Amino acid sequence: MEILNFKDCEDVKVEKIPFKGEQRDVTGTSIRWLSRSGDDGTGSPEYGLRYFTIQPGGKIPIHSHFYHQTMYILSGKFECYRYDMDSEEAMEAKVTESGDFVYVPSMEPHGMKNIGDEPGTFLCCIANVYEDQD
């Protein structure tokens, strides 16, 4: 067992995120890895719990990934987007606030922006889920 405070984990600025082989700019965003376990073969963990802080106007642009994720909004106001993979156009935009959660399935293009006046925070749990190969 390990017991820590989130402030014990390094707060790392996120500057880029890949999508379709291109590095996209991330603004006003930092991440603290609270826990992680396993290796998915690409350098990412099989499971992870992360604490994100996004400054007002900060954003995470369109991206997708193999793992499933659930984001639980702790504070702030975010606009969350679901995109079309081919056109990269936003197909859906929803506003989230404290107490809301967002589930993003594997490989679904998505992104978000802090539309509030203060820094927003959320927990993000990621996990690889494999279909049974029977």
What domains appear along the chain, each with residue ranges and CATH number? 13-127 (2.60.120.10)
What's the pLDDT tens digit per position in 61-100? 999 998 999 999 999 999 999 999 999 999 999 999 999 9
- Residue 7 sits at φ, ψ, to 5 deg, of -70, -15
User: Does this model's pTM top 0.75?
Assistant: yes
Across 64-99, the runs of DSSP E, i.e. the strands, are: 68-75, 77-83, 90-97
At 45 the pLDDT is 84
Contact 76, 114 (CB under 8 A): yes
What share of the chain has pLDDT > 70, as a percent?
97
Tell me which residue of 113, 126, 124, 116 sits closest to 27, measured CA to CA.
Answer: 113
